[in-house]
Amino acid sequence: MKGLIFTYVMAYGGSVLSLFRPFVGLLVYICFALLNPEQLWFWAVPRGNYARIVAVSFLIGWAFKGFGDWRLGRATGIVYSLIAFTVIWLLDAPFARSIDLGTSGIESFLKVALPCIAGVTIIDSVSKLKTLIWVIVLSQGFLAYEFNQNYYAGLISDSEWSFRGLDNNGIAIVMDTSVGLALFLGLHEEGWLKKMIAFGCAGLMIHVVLFSMSRGGMLGLVIVGLVSFILLPKQPKHYLAFFLVLLLVLRLAGPSVRAEFLSSFAEGEKRDGSSTTRIMHWKACVQSVLKHPFGVGPDCWPLVAPEYGLPAMEAHTTWLQLAAEMGLQGLLAIGLFYGLTITRLWALTSKRSRLADPWFAYLARMVIASLSGFIISAQFVSVEGIELPYYVVMIGATTLKLATFAPSPTTYAWFVPTHHYANVVRVEN
């Protein structure tokens, strides 16, 4: 009953508010995209177009606001890379190996791309960014809590579980992508209650990755930890927090989890069938790219795989499958989308930068850590359809936009176009 009330209030109340305050619609839409109330509370919430209702209202509200502010600063390349990837998808679909498959995912992708583009143009303050991050962390934390409950109740066992069309590998990667947000939110938020909630969500997410028995997910978690350690402010309290999280991970990772993770590095005859099939798909994707550099069409790899003596299935790799389906131009566009975000945010983490708001550095760290985990782990699973990484990039792009036009004279000079130099002084060497 609570799930039904929550869904109706958020869907219909949020749709009305979003006409006048599109940022509210964005928050509700992302919350619904992550939680999927119809599946989470399937026994109480009837099937309906709740997210679509909010999305339509949100986009109408965005239009009423003049489609936001397109002065994007250092985020310009990121946003236009996403637009380019969307255009490539639309152009490739009619020429796909199967037109039905090629066009079937367009609507789903647009439901991710349009909110991301709109979000960058309407979020105009760090406080709004923090609110968005809390919505993501709490939504993912609640999902992790539900998964943990089901696990201890014996309702899920190892890889025999799924949610929103994702198997255990996909769910683990989604959790990897949100752990970095939760960890750095816990480190930098003020007040012990907020810190404990953020760290609690991070702990629940980490445990989901561990009992998912996903080797790609575990590797992604390791990458998140390493990158977070590199980016941590060099203060004893931060190292202490990291050490406590590390102890928690080691405590939760039992013998079976450690054995499953170490099997990722087995060679030759010791490699299991899943790893062997994955490598065969990787090689086939490379051969397909060489043969069809412009791609075989979105979502069409399962049709092409039998041509290389493989079963008609996903390729167990997001990036190589994307290259095989969307061509080198698609891989370049999505590579710029993620690559520009990480490289441009990295400058904000430097001690040499003096930013108008210390949260610019905090936001940069959490986005880099989260995306690093996703990018590495996605090489081992085909998860090009999950939404969360796009929302994380949206956070990073908005951070860059806000840092570009921050009114403080301590913003990076190379962040600001010529006509804004009056607000800038030289960066300290």
pLDDT at residue number 311: 85
Higher-confidence residue of 164 and 59: namely: 59
At residue 154, what are phi and psi to the nearest 5 degrees?
A: 80, 15
- In a domain, residue 137? The reply is no
Does residue 272 register a pLDDT over 90? no
Report the largest interatomic distance among the alpha carbons of the chain, rounded to a whole angstrom: 65
pLDDT in tens, 56-100: 999 999 999 899 999 999 999 999 999 999 999 998 888 888 888
pLDDT at residue number 412: 43
Domain count, the chain: 1
- In a domain, residue 58? The reply is no
| CA 207, chain centre distance (Å) | 18
Confidence band, pLDDT 50/70/90 cuts, at residue 367: very high
Q: How far apart are CA 185 and CA 395, in angstroms?
A: 13
Q: What are all long-range contacts of 286-289, with beta carbons under 8 Å and residues at least 24 apart? A: 286/320, 288/324, 289/320, 289/323, 289/324, 289/327, 289/328
Q: Which two tokens mark 257? A: 């989890």
Q: What share of the chain is helix, strand, coil (3-state, %, to 5)?
A: 75, 0, 25
pLDDT at residue number 166: 78
CB-based contacts of 293: which residues, under 8 Å, 6+ apart? 327, 328
- In a domain, residue 186? The reply is yes
- Number of neighbouring beta carbons within 10 Å of residue 48: 13
- In a domain, residue 276? The reply is yes
- In a domain, residue 28? The reply is no
- Find the mean pLDDT for residues 7-29: 91
Higher-confidence residue of 52 and 81: namely: 81
Angle at 387 (CA atoms; ends 248, 24), nearest 5 degrees: 95
- In a domain, residue 15? The reply is no
Higher-confidence residue of 111 and 3: namely: 111
Does residue 427 register a pLDDT over 70? no
pLDDT at residue number 266: 47
H-helix or E-strand spanning residue 31: helix 22-35
Q: How far apart are CA 89 and CA 81, in angstroms?
A: 12
pLDDT at residue number 428: 37
pLDDT at residue number 392: 96
Output the pTM of the full model.
0.86
299 backbone φψ class: left, alpha, beta (φ>0; ψ -120 to 50): left
Confidence band, pLDDT 50/70/90 cuts, at residue 277: confident
Domain span at residue 307 reads: 73-124+150-423
pLDDT at residue number 351: 56
DSSP line for 75-108: GHHHHHHHHHHHHHHHHHGGGSSSHHHHHHTHHH
- In a domain, residue 386? The reply is yes
Range in 87-96, 114-123, 150-159, 411-420 with the lowest mean pLDDT: 411-420
pLDDT at residue number 7: 86
- In a domain, residue 11? The reply is no
Distances (CA, A) of 365 to 112, 172, 337, 395: 23, 21, 17, 11
pLDDT in tens, 205-221: 988 888 887 777 888 88
Mean pLDDT, the chain, whole residue set: 83
Share of the chain above pLDDT 90, in %: 40
Range in 39-53, 202-216, 349-363, 371-385 with the lowest mean pLDDT: 349-363
Max mean pLDDT among 3-17, 31-45, 76-90 falls in 76-90
Confidence band, pLDDT 50/70/90 cuts, at residue 270: very low
